[in-house]
Amino acid sequence: MNEYLGPAQYIDSAHPAVAAFSAQHASGASPREKAVALYYAVRDGIRYNPFIDVSRPEAFRASSVLAAGEGFCIGKAALLAAAARVAGIPARVGFADVRNHLSTPRLAETMGTDLFAYHGFTELFLEEKWVKATPSFNLALCRRFRVKPLEFDGRADAIFHPFDEDDRLHMEYVRSRGSFADVPTAEIQKAFSELYPKFYRLGAAAAKETFG
């Protein structure tokens, strides 16, 4: 479990700000309770925003996401993993390709598809098993788009609901990309540049877009 407990390049749990964030929010008597508290701190304390410059490695780094106060699914998953490691909870990041049936028109137009490769989530080792936690969509965003917020109890996987509050198709998991001790940033950037060239070429201009 050592590789899932120590700091890494993007899951940079040794960063002072990440350590302070974990210490502030990891409340509870057990690892499971601490993991749940950290999940909600990342889910709702860090705003979800897909319009970021994914050509910059900082977009994938836990400490950078924490400093910005916003990030997309991979950065938020890295932050939760980093904070969990600070609290002594083995953590890693997992990835899957998902089809978002409720993608906003602007995001779909920019991406050129509703298929999102390398959707990121966190996997936490709790009570002798790996549990998936997806801290992507903050509660305010869910309420605005009428998406069911993902709750996490530390025992069952918290992955996207297939339907929203109005029973419309929401998220469909298409392909697993595996689990990693650190974010495979170069691999993901290569895939993004090939699959979403228009979005990838936005670079810093992506920040001019708004979401939610």
DSSP-derived secondary structure for 88-127: T--EEEEEEEEEETT--HHHHHHHTSSEEEEEEEEEEEET
Contact by Cβ (8 Å): 179, 131? no
Please report which confidence band the pLDDT of residue 99 belongs to, taking 50, 70 and 90 as the band edges. confident
The pair of structure tokens assigned to 46 is: 């860090």
Please report which confidence band the pLDDT of residue 147 belongs to, taking 50, 70 and 90 as the band edges. confident
Global confidence as pTM: 0.91
Tell me the CA distances in angstroms from 62 to 105, 125, 169, one per residue in order.
29, 19, 31
Quote the CA–CA distance of 40 and 56 in Å, as a whole number: 26
CATH topology of domain 2-205: C8orf32 fold (3.10.620)
Section 50-77 average pLDDT: 95
How confident is the model at residue 69, as a pLDDT?
97
Cα angle 11, 156, 29 (rounded to 5 degrees) comes to: 70
Q: 123: which residues sit within 8 A by CB, 6+ positions away? A: 81, 91, 92, 93, 94, 130, 131, 132, 133, 179
Section 94-111 average pLDDT: 77
